[in-house]
Amino acid sequence: MRGVAHRVAPDADLIGKIASRLESPHDGEVVNAARLAVNRLGSLGLRIGDVMRQGVFAASASAANCDQRPDPVRPLRRHQRAIMEIRASGVPLSQWESTFVTSLWTKQSLSERQESILADLLATAREARG
């Protein structure tokens, strides 16, 4: 599986255009843009709050250290690759499963129980894919 930068990069311009519509003076356009951004990021296994936090952190670090280059994109962890595969499979998840999978994205490591549940979800996704 390719790295997250390869997977997200084609959508980055589109997400940027959608996000720029959040500045519209029209409430309906702002709400629609927010929903589009949340859905597009969710399809990539990302949460809008995490993306915004990372962006603000990167911007403030850049302003403070304008002579330093930002760190390269961190490679995906094993559980993040599994989450992306589950999301890409299109297998519907229950509300609990969706919340569970989303909550794992930013974790450094998983407990044995979390690993077990994620492995079961991944097996289901792979079976559905054929």
Residue 1 confidence class, pLDDT cut points 50, 70, 90? very low
What's the CA gap between 22 and 120, in Å, rounded? 38
pLDDT at 57: 55
Average pLDDT, the chain: 76
Angle, vertex CA 66, rays to CA 65 and CA 71, nearest 5: 70
Contact between residue 86 and residue 101 where contact means Cβ atoms under 8 Å apart: yes
pTM for the complete prediction?
Answer: 0.46
pLDDT at 15: 77
Average pLDDT over residues 14-38: 83
> DSSP state, 103?
H
Q: What is the pLDDT of residues 42-57, one digit of tens each?
A: 887 777 777 776 666 5
Q: Would the pLDDT of 75 be above 80?
A: no
Task: Please name which of 117, 115, 123 lies closest in space to residue 89, comparing C-alpha atoms.
Answer: 123
For the chain, what percent of residues have pLDDT higher than 90? 14
What's the CA gap between 20 and 48, in Å, rounded? 14
Q: What is the pLDDT of residues 78-117, one digit of tens each?
A: 888 888 888 888 888 899 998 998 888 888 889 999 999 9
